[in-house]
A and B are shown apart, each in its own frame.
Chain A
């Protein structure tokens, strides 16, 4: 069955520290991969996406993610977190020819001063 796992429900990092949010997916072929960010009460903002090609993708706000086929992972990283990065982060997977996007349960990021 198609699924997306974000093993960390919440993460707390210090401002200026590096960040890595984990995401694993379950699918037999190469999926389309996305990371979205959501502030409380707000909509979904696309941070970055991977369809094919270079497995390291750059996104907005200084985020990047790396697709690792062997690990079925698409982890999100940022070298230096800012207080404004505090939000909920969703990993999502779209499937070739599929009609829907499957979202992970989300990871809430807290940033401490």
Chain B
């Protein structure tokens, strides 16, 4: 069964460093998402991406964040200058193209630790 994959599973970085989190969505999906879950809290929407542009973003997704689909298979989330409060689990998700299909398939997550 096709699945969303994410790398790395765990990333440790120093405050102020740039990180790139990578995701490979399901191959025929057209909608892509990033979510964040701070330890012990709920899953929060960050951004959605369709047709090579951002469709919607939350207030969390400020200028420090960016997304890209560099090569038609990967979908990346970049944090330019990490802060301690960016420590969280980051989930990628993708969705098919059907108009009635609103199920998002989630990846296993990348745990980001900012020291």
Contact = CB atoms under 8 A, between A and B. Distances in A.
A and B are interacting partners: yes
Interface of A: 32, 34, 36, 41-44, 46, 49, 51, 90, 92, 94-106
Contacts of A104: 42
Given A44-B91, A105-B42, 15 more contacts: A32-B102, A41-B111, A43-B91, A43-B108, A51-B102, A90-B42, A94-B104, A96-B102, A99-B31, A99-B33, A99-B55, A100-B58, A101-B45, A103-B44, A106-B42
Interface of B: 31, 33, 35, 41-45, 48, 50, 55-56, 58, 91, 93, 99-100, 102-104, 106-109, 111
Contacts of A43: 91, 106-109
Contacts of A42: 108
Contacts of B99: 97
A90 B33 CA distance: 18
Contact of B102 (A36, A94, A105, A106): A94
B42 A103 contact: yes
A34 B103 contact: yes
B104 A101 contact: yes
A99 B109 contact: no
A97 B91 CA distance: 21
A36 B99 CA distance: 23
Given A99-B55, A103-B43, A51 B100 contact: yes
B43 A44 contact: yes
Nearest to A98: B102
A99 B56 contact: yes
A89 to B, nearest CB: 11
A100 B109 contact: no
B45 A102 contact: yes
